[in-house]
Amino acid sequence: MDLTSLLPFEMPHPALLAAGVLEGTVLAAVLALTALGLSIVFGFMRVVNVAHGEFYMLGAVLAWFVTDLVSRTIGGPPWLAFGIALMVCPLTVAAIAALCDRMILKRLNYDPEATIVATIGILYILQQLALTFYGPDARPVQAPFDFRIQLPWFGYSGYKLIVVAASIVLMLIVWLVLTRTKIGIIMRATQYDRETAQAFGIPVDRVYAGVFALGAGLAAIGAVLIVPIQQAHYLMGGEPLLLAFIVVILGGLGSLRGTIVAAIFIGLSDGIISTLYEPTLAKILATLLVAMVLVFRPQGLFGTRAA
């Protein structure tokens, strides 16, 4: 007996389902990186960084500039220009974020409410700077590798699978740094008790600048990885910011484990629903899910309730 005949809905074709899962996995990988940055900044600094999406956008736009510059001046294979962009852009974005921290957030003494307003300001400044110097056009960046992996039903971009692998490696590195290194101990000590950390020689202001830079740098890495798949555009920061907030709220504010689990869930569901039905439906369902979490479990799935 064919069990699928008992289902109340028609089973999608395996090829369509596989495509949805693959696209969802790529989205989940990039989303996990982006949301991890947002979650780290909130978890360690208690700053809700509304400009996070613009650091993502900046990473993508700078990737276009760098790859364009390298291919016009040095030339060489696409992976060379892309490799340089992957190193230079996140570092540049991290430096800009550190500058924003020292010039703006530090002066506000990291007050949770004032920093929300300040990061909204940073959002508009970065967006308008990108519009001024980059322009309103969406521009493509060539993928560093051009090969396809043949599946039973269709061939799939090898580069997209490399994006997934790179994200997993990067998240492992972040986890190792936070849990196994002296830098991680210093960051966590600052997170748990700022005053006592200072009493043990930890320069809290510098740690905060580093954390803010790390968060923005992670978003920029995600953007550089995704820009050969999507085009770079000055308004591209909005959607990843929304999705990152959904992920962080779902996983629990400041919970890195929750962030990654929620990113996988949202990414996969978005990919599958977008492929099988409508991208808009995927966003509606994700927003509904967040609303339900906020009502029934406001601390998120893995977060702890504030005392």
Partner 1 sequence: MLTLSNINASYGDVQILRDLSLTARSGETLCLLGRNGAGKTTTLKTIMGLIRAKSGSITLDGEELTTLPPHEVPKRGIGYVPQGRRLFAEMTVAENLEIGLMTRGRGRAVRERMLDLFPVLRERYRQISGTLSGGEQQMLAMARALCLEPRVLLLDEPTEGLQPSMIALIRDVVVDLKQTDVATILVEQRVDAVLSIADRVVFIENGQSREEADAETLRANPDLVRRYVGIA
- Which residues contact partner 1 (rule: CB under 8 A)? 182, 185-186, 188-189, 192-193, 195-204
By C-beta, is 193 or 278 nearer to partner 1? Answer: 193
- Between CA 250 and CA 299 the distance in angstroms is 8
How distant, in Å, are the alpha carbons of 59, 215, 227 from that of 32? 16, 12, 16
Minimum Å gap between C-beta 213 and partner 1 is: 19
Provide the Cα torsion 162, 163, 168, 172; round to 10°: 100
Minimum Å gap between C-beta 115 and partner 1 is: 21
Amino acid identity for residue 156 in this structure:
Y
Minimum Å gap between C-beta 182 and partner 1 is: 6
Minimum Å gap between C-beta 35 and partner 1 is: 22
By C-beta, is 240 or 254 nearer to partner 1? Answer: 254
By C-beta, is 10 or 195 nearer to partner 1? Answer: 195
Minimum Å gap between C-beta 188 and partner 1 is: 6
By C-beta, is 99 or 185 nearer to partner 1? Answer: 185
How distant, in Å, are the alpha carbons of 32, 52, 228, 289, 290 from that of 284? 20, 22, 27, 9, 10
Cβ atoms of residues 16 and 275 within 8 Å: yes
By C-beta, is 114 or 161 nearer to partner 1? Answer: 114
By C-beta, is 27 or 197 nearer to partner 1? Answer: 197
Minimum Å gap between C-beta 204 and partner 1 is: 7
